[in-house]
A and B are shown apart, each in its own frame.
Chain A
Amino acid sequence: MEGLLPDLDVIRKDFPILERTLAGGVPLVYLDSANTSQKPQVVIDTMVDHLERHNANIARAMHQLGAEATEAYEGARDQVAAFLNAPSRNEVVFTKNATEALNLLARTIELAPGDNVVITEMEHHSNIVSWQLACERAGAELRWFGLTDDGRLDLGNADQLVDENTKVVAFTWVSNMLGTINPVTDLCARAKAVGAWSVIDASQAAPQLPVDVQAVDCDFLVFTGHKVCGPTGIGVLWGREALLNELPPFHGGGEMIETVTMARSTYAKAPHRFEAGTPPIVEAVGLGAAVDYLGHVGLEAIHRHEQAITAYALEGLQSVPGLTVLGPLDAAERGGAISFELDGVHPHDIAQVLDSRGVAVRAGHHCAKPAHARYGVQSSTRMSSYLYTTPAEIDALVEGLHHTRSYFKVG
């Protein structure tokens, strides 16, 4: 099959969990990578090595271990900066996850009555609720791009939505439910034209596309560590250095200050301005190893692999009677997450039968209830592939779906 990673067998050996079997001795077919990705040995080893040999608190310990831990943590910042092609390492802020990064922005960007924030109907709840809260606090207006019937952003009324009162345009690069890849460069230009700040949620894009913050020309971009083969507990906020230093602090505490008196404090510049308290050190170190790993495999090659697998999956899924794919049907315009409905069987029941055959998928609303509501769907089943996914695993999914139909005596 054209486009697959040439060393797929070798890649799979990098991920020890793919070797395991489940109840009944069935092999794992992991198709839930948009939920969280599996971890390569190099990430696991790097984290174990850090804990076994270099563990200390960072930036304050006047001893050798402290220096080593600081170097490892700050080294991870360099690795992430390179991963994003960021102009400066000072622009990389470590957070707990993408949700925290979005909330940081929604909490610190100043909004006033009369201002508006524009989001889209295909956002993950984290990029909806955080802005709802911000707009409620400030008396600002929340607006959103609707969706077309074929699962794309409806840009028909873009000129009315994004206007001179728009302060923020926040949108996902790749939809976690529909798979749609959005025209992020155009959206950023549109925000810039009215003097608004652009915020990209790259949680689903960063794992599978080359992300270049300079080429996209965005103001802020967030992603989470655990979807790019890194650990949980670590996320990234990237922002233009000047803008980050314009924002007020988010959490107050150690490490984010210049000086503190009982009456008042002055604050450090980014990134430390937003990293109050002891950060997730070993998690950052693991994330650094993860993005390095992806860089070695090559994001262009991973993207081609995802597109090949997605095209194969779209074809296979549509061979199942009564199955409807949500979102664009052209693999070239979408990411590796495919949500679908199967007539007569609830997503929970589909996921349960697939699980009994070792096939792991996600069922539910995928934290995108508005996008489901847009298409009149209460919940869906989602398969999501990654760089280690094989065509044989897609076959196992499709066979499992045929079996599910017969198990529930549909059709």
Chain B
Amino acid sequence: MSTDLDALYQEIILDHYKNPHHKGLRDPFEAEVHHVNPTCGDEVTLRVHLVDSADGAVVEDVSYDSVGCSISQASASVLTDLVIGKPVDEAMTIHQTFLELMQGKGQVEPDEDVLEDGIAFAGVAKFPARVKCALLSWMAWKDATSQAQTQGETA
């Protein structure tokens, strides 16, 4: 049992929880979203700042303010490490890879080249009640990024 628990609470996750990266809300941003996990009340407010480049839109910054458990907090921290500085298309692919890992019921082998510290969440997939915790900020990021892109098109 404690091995399962240790698989869930990897040292990497606890490190990100204690010292979250990129935390706090920053300007500028094109979209801000507020997502809630209605079953537990965990919340995240997340902003996305995109800039144009020759290769299309790039994620210049992701900033957030959140309250929640170690899994949801660490997941937000890892998310920002993975997507900041990446073209939006590549960031969306990383999002998809993380989503598949989380929904894989513990059967998906995580790809460290793509997910880096995100592979630490492989153990979370075995705890169905916690998958939503891990996905809270990721869903918020996708939502905010889509909104920012739509705005960019209409502007």
Contacts and interface: CB of A to CB of B under 8 A. Distances in A.
B71 interface: yes
Interface residues of A, number: 22
Contacts of B8: 352
Interface string A4-27: 000000000000000000111010
Interface string B115-155: 00000000000010010010000000000000000000000
Interface in B1-55: 1-2, 4-5, 8-9, 14, 39-43
Contacts of A372: 41
A407 interface: yes
Contacts of A364: 39-41
Contacts of A24: 1-2, 4
Contacts of B4: 23-24, 356
Interface residues of B, number: 20
Interface of A: 22-24, 26, 346-349, 352-353, 356-357, 363-365, 369, 372, 378-379, 407-409
B40 A349 contact: no
B59 to A, nearest CB: 28
Given A348-B130, A349-B70, A407 B9 contact: yes
Given A346-B69, A356-B5, A407-B9, A365 B41 contact: yes
B69 A369 contact: no
For the residues of B in contact with A, the DSSP-based class is mixed
A378 B1 contact: no
A408 B5 CA distance: 12
Contacts of A357: 1
B1 A26 contact: yes
B68 interface: yes
Contact of B1 (A23, A407, A408, A409): A23
B11 to A, nearest CB: 11
Nearest to B71: A348
A347 B41 CA distance: 11
Closest 9 pairs (CB-CB, A-B): A24-B1, A348-B69, A346-B69, A364-B40, A356-B5, A365-B41, A379-B41, A356-B1, A349-B70
A269 to B, nearest CB: 40
B40 A352 contact: no
Given A364-B39, A364-B41, A353 B70 contact: no
B148 to A, nearest CB: 28
B68 A346 contact: yes
